[in-house]
Amino acid sequence: MKTTNSNSRRNFLGALALGATASTLSMLSNPVYAEATTFNDKKMSAAENWFDKIKGKHRIVYDGSTPHKGFPILWNWAYYFSHNETGTTDDDITAMTVIRHSAIGFALEDRLWEKYKLGEFFDVKDYTKEHAVRNPVFEPQDGDYPINGPSGIKNLQERGAMFCVCNLALQVYGNFIGQKMSLDGTEIYNDFISGIIPGIEVVPSGVWALGLAQQKGCGYIFAGE
């Protein structure tokens, strides 16, 4: 009975982290998804301390649960742009995007987009009008966003924007992709971890991060669809 309760709890947390539908919850009942990679004390401390970087009077956290044509990143840029237009400098601004659920590809380097066909898997197209084989929001080109001009993750990080990615979603989608490609899901997850864009923090789950960001004074905006 104790083991059953433990597994049910993990499945429920997995559903929360992924923004699950009923069908997703059913898939999570499979034992392969039951064991989320545990955050040890060192990882938890690093994740919690990362949130101490939040600064300034103007603080926002975007809930990037789906790719949504790049809007989880585009709106991060818009927050800086609009505040700059009204006289606020970057030093007094923190815009954070929590990358979770089916948007996790935005946290991964180009190598992984090509290797695992992430554009096709997550239905993300870029300026070519085809499924992307590169991360289109890291250094966007004209046509990657619905409008041209806004910068991507690389430039926003240089300005102080913060990005984190859901560890639980990385694991679960690693298994999904593994099933699709007849590969080992754990190996894919480890490959994902090795290919996180530098400066993007891996957090226990996206919903955990959204809660902590709000505790640190960030307003909440949903950026998915």
The predicted structure's pLDDT at residue 16: 46
For the cut 50, the answer to whether the pLDDT of residue 154 exceeds it is yes
More confident site: 173 or 32: 173
Which domain range does residue 24 map to? 1-36
For the cut 60, the answer to whether the pLDDT of residue 102 exceeds it is yes
Determine how many CB atoms are found less than 10 A away from the CB of residue 111: 13
Q: Which residue has the tokens 């956290």?
A: 61
Q: What CATH number has the domain bearing residue 60? A: 3.40.1260.10
For the cut 90, the answer to whether the pLDDT of residue 100 exceeds it is yes
Model's pTM, two decimal places? 0.86
For the cut 90, the answer to whether the pLDDT of residue 217 exceeds it is yes
For the cut 60, the answer to whether the pLDDT of residue 5 exceeds it is no
199's tokens: 């400066």
Kindly state the average pLDDT of the residues 120-141: 98
The predicted structure's pLDDT at residue 24: 47
Residue 24 sits in the same domain as residue 49: no
The predicted structure's pLDDT at residue 40: 83
For the cut 60, the answer to whether the pLDDT of residue 58 exceeds it is yes
Q: What is the β-pairing status of strands 58-64 and 93-99?
A: parallel
Residue 113 sits in the same domain as residue 32: no
Beta bridge partners, 58, equal: 93
Q: What percent of the chain has pLDDT over 70?
A: 83
Q: Which residue has the tokens 């309760």?
A: 5
Residue 70 sits in the same domain as residue 140: yes
Q: How far apart are CA 158 and CA 177, in angstroms?
A: 32
Asked whether 82 and 158 are in contact (CB, 8 A), the reply is: no
More confident site: 28 or 175: 175
Residue 101 sits in the same domain as residue 139: yes
Residue 4 sits in the same domain as residue 87: no
pLDDT in tens, 12-22: 444 444 444 44
Asked whether 93 and 56 are in contact (CB, 8 A), the reply is: yes
pLDDT in tens, 20-43: 444 444 444 444 444 445 678 888
Residue 10 sits in the same domain as residue 57: no
Q: Is 72 helix (H, G, I), strand (E, B) or coil?
A: helix
Question: Read out DSSP for 14-35?
Answer: HHHHHT--HHHHHHHTSGGGT-
Q: How far apart are CA 190 and CA 31, in angstroms?
A: 19
Between 19-23, 64-68, 107-111, 157-161, the lowest mean confidence (pLDDT) is in 19-23
The predicted structure's pLDDT at residue 37: 53
Residue 78 sits in the same domain as residue 112: yes
The predicted structure's pLDDT at residue 38: 66
Indicate the average pLDDT of the chain. 88
